[in-house]
Structure 1
Amino acid sequence: MQREDPDEDAAWQAIVDNYGERAELEPEAEPEPVRVDPADDLDEPAELGDDDPDDPEDDIPAFDRFVPEDPPPVPIPPFDRLLAWAGVFGSPTILLVFLISGLSMPGWLGWLLVGGFVLGFCYLVIRMPGSPRDPWDDGARV
């Protein structure tokens, strides 16, 4: 595709020709020859490494090989909260198992599981703190 307007080409060429100052580069200096003494190689024992060319660990720089510490163990909540969480998660799980397996469940057990879910949820909501630990805390953790 050719341009129709030669003035536009001339304008662009003028912009390119007059764009900023041109940097003057110094000619590259010739590197000095390095003298290799084969006797130096004999003084040090050869390094016995596991240089596997297919090892992806060799491609990673040393500073990228971060290994985090083991996390602390998960704390066990107090018994009352543990019972409430069991009601919140355990009741629907048991109901789902009965539903999927096709087993019939006694009516009283169904009502007990529904009551356990509702009571556990209400207990956890009531026990939630009303204010943040720190007045300036927005809840974000790093």
Structure 2
Amino acid sequence: MARDDDPEPADLAREREREWQEIIENFGDRAVLEPGDEPVVDAPRRAAPDDLDQDDLGATAAARDQVPPDEEFVPPTPPPVPRPPFDRLLAWTGVFGVPALVLFFIVVGVTLPAWTGLLFAAAFIGGFGYLVIQMPDEPRDPWDDGAVL
């Protein structure tokens, strides 16, 4: 078995040197293909809607509808979105609702009293802190990717 630090045979070294020299000499040149090198591809001709007969329309519809309607896949109705507990809903409202409300007031041009700004800041920080405290301490199972079948 050959090792990485074994010296290359002289023929292999000369061949690699020749290939590198060829690459350097042809760098930036555009490849020229011979006429016989290009594969011949017959592109299917799509007919314009005016060119189609009624028979052609029926044939394409029949080809499209080969699966019987009773065998078509119908996905099940997804379950309803779960509602978070009230305490977490209140915390998420503080984290996302307060900045949205402040941005709305800035765009509209409403000036709020200073105590309202302090209340908004406390709601944001309190909601964020509560969500951080409620995070689980132990790491997730590394093999659990969260997919449910």
TM-score, length of structure 2 as denominator length:
0.49
Counterparts in 2 of 1:77 and 1:103: CA distance versus 1, 3 Å:
same
Corresponding residue of 2:88: 81
* Residue of structure 2 in register with 1:62 after alignment: 67
Corresponding residue for residue 145 of structure 2: 139
**Does residue 112 of structure 2 align to residue 105 of structure 1?**
yes
| Structure 2 spans left out of the alignment, 5+ residues | 1-56
Kindly report which structure 2 residues correspond to 1:10-21, keeping only aligned pairs within 5 A, or say none.
none
The Cα offsets for residues 19-78 of structure 1, whole Å up to 9 and x where unpaired, read as: xxxxxxxxxxxxxxxxxxxxxxxxxxxxxxxxx75x989626539953311111111111
**Aligned equivalent of 1:115, options 90, 102, 122:** 122
Q: CA distance change for structure 1 residues 108 and 56 in 2, over 3 Å: closer, same or farther?
A: farther
Higher relative contact order (CA 8 A, sep 6+): 2
> CA RMSD of the aligned region, Å?
3.2
Residue 90 of structure 1: aligned partner: 97
Q: Moved runs in structure 1, 4+ residues, more than 6 A?
A: 55-58
Percentage identity across aligned positions? 47
Unaligned ranges ≥5, structure 1: 1-51
Q: Quick one: which amino acid aligns to residue 103 of structure 1?
A: V
